[in-house]
Chain A
Amino acid sequence: MSTDPWVWIASIGTIGVLSGILWKDNVLFRTVEHVFVGLSSAYYVFTAYRNLVNLGWAPLKEGKIILVIPMLLGLSLYTRFTKRYAYLSRWGMGFLIGVGSGLAMFASINAQLLPQIRANMLQLTSLNNIILVLGVLSIIVYFFFSVEQKGAVKHVSKIGRYMMMLTFGVSFGNVVQGRISLLLGVLESLLGKWLGLMS
């Protein structure tokens, strides 16, 4: 059994959370829940403070005056707490939305649309390539709403639906795999690190 107090704290925390799920709401579960929320908040507040100092205040003191602009825009977000100056928050928000949209547009076209179109321009010389191209085309047809889904379009669209069902199945299988891994992590921590039962 471990003699490390941190391992004990982590294990009691794990048992506390599991007790709330497997048994019922209890004092240990609520205590652990509150401690977790408190610790997480403290970590985020500290991280945010340190970033503000390192990325804002320190360079500003070194003469990087340009940083006054993003800092003022950031501060403007807090004006929402006053009725009189709430309109100022739109400037900061507008800047954030503008930068976000610009980056998203760039990423959508250059990292998703064009490379994916290029990757699917394949020679139909193998079964993999045929399935891939057929899958892409049939799913695009499934989401093509400008013509009525009947006749040949309906059949191709149906293939697209089956392709998507297969993808959802793969995703679900992966999710199950992931969740089992997480539970194994918890068990390894309890049985191995804490109780020392694993060889």
Chain B
Amino acid sequence: MNFWSKLQSIDVRIIYITVFVTLAIPLLIPLGIPLTVADNSVNMYTLIEDLQPGDRVLMSLDYTALVAPEVHAGTVAICRHLFEKGVGVAMFGYIPEGPMFGDMAINQLADEYDLVYGKDVVNLGFIPGSESGVRAFGDNILESAPRCFRNQVTKDMPIMQGVRNAADFKMLIGIGDGLQVMVQQIHTVHGTPICGVSTAAGTTGLWPYVNSGQIKAMLSGLRGCAEYEMLVNKPSTAVAKMDGQSLGHLVIILFIAAGNIGHFVTKKNKSEAKQ
């Protein structure tokens, strides 16, 4: 096997190690590659900035530990913005692990913003039943979540006073993989404006909903979360990873280019040998 053929079948472990090292270096020694903020992130920021103290929003946390490194920074950054403005947040999730991350965010920010559980924020927990469950939840929130993630009765909580359905919230912020379901079963039925954070892989499929206005604004993956951290002036974990993200893409491009060069040179050599 000559050099060009080898380029097409690089051992997967070499790719792993190269990517691993390339991503690790900027985490240890930040390079400070400039980060620009896209219009989508500014739109998201403006939507939340326009909320008034005392308003309430629903926050749907639909992600597992698998994609948490990509979107959880967005949950924290958006929560910071909401708590700074004095907006009440009612979290829930239709994926069982989702509300667990909500509780992590609440615990992380509780002291910083003097949060009172049940007044400033509540975690309504996991809503079973997939899309049907979300529809039932939107129609009657207290009946679908009689007890919260911390097993407290929700109907007595100050944040839940006067709540009947999803229309009683100013906005629904979806984080993770649930945005489409939220559009279908909450926005379409109750008209609640939707915005949120999508995984990078899910962005392409959700873009038509942004285009049609069914999703008012959307952050895409870790990059979107980093931009939001910049907008709320609290650069944190997502911003720290952006150098690595850029270098990682560069390495992947180089590997794809190497594989293709190998393919075309081998093909050319074969056709020349035949002649």
Contacts and interface: CB of A to CB of B under 8 A. Distances in A.
Decide whether A and B assemble into one complex.
yes
Interface in A146-199: 167, 170-171, 174-178, 180-189, 191-192, 197-199
Contact of B146 (A21, A59, A176): A59
B158 interface: no
A51 B128 contact: yes
Given A180-B249, A182-B67, A182-B70, A171 B204 contact: yes
Given A174-B203, A185-B69, A188-B240, A180 B146 contact: no
Contacts of B30: 199
Classify chain B: how many residues form its interface, as a range. Answer: 35 or more
Chain A binding surface SS class: helix
Interface in B188-207: 188, 199-205
Contacts of B214: 111, 115
A186 B69 CA distance: 8
Interface residues of A, number: 49
B212 interface: yes
B184 A177 contact: no
Interface in B56-89: 66-70
Contacts of B28: 191, 197-198
Interface in B81-139: 96-97, 126, 128, 131-132, 135
A180 B132 CA distance: 33
A55 interface: yes
B185 A103 contact: yes
Interface stretch (A26-34, A40-48, A83-91, A137-145): A40-48
Given A54-B146, A199-B30, A177 B96 contact: no
Contacts of A184: 23, 27, 69, 222, 241, 244-245, 248
Interface stretch (B12-20, B37-45, B258-266): B12-20
B220 A174 contact: yes
Contacts of A69: none
Contact of B188 (A54, A107, A170): A107
Contact of A198 (B16, B208, B240, B245): B240
B96 A47 contact: yes
22 contacts: A21-B16, A51-B126, A55-B128, A55-B144, A103-B185, A110-B188, A119-B213, A171-B201, A171-B205, A174-B201, A174-B204, A177-B222, A177-B249, A178-B199, A178-B201, A178-B221, A181-B70, A181-B221, A183-B20, A187-B20, A192-B27, A198-B28
Given A48-B128, A51-B126, A183-B248, 15 more contacts: A21-B16, A22-B17, A54-B146, A111-B183, A180-B23, A180-B252, A181-B70, A181-B200, A184-B69, A184-B241, A187-B20, A188-B69, A191-B24, A192-B27, A199-B30
Interface of B: 13, 16-17, 19-20, 23-24, 27-28, 30, 66-70, 96-97, 126, 128, 131-132, 135, 144, 146-147, 151, 183-185, 187-188, 199-205, 208, 211-214, 220-223, 237, 240-241, 244-245, 248-249, 252
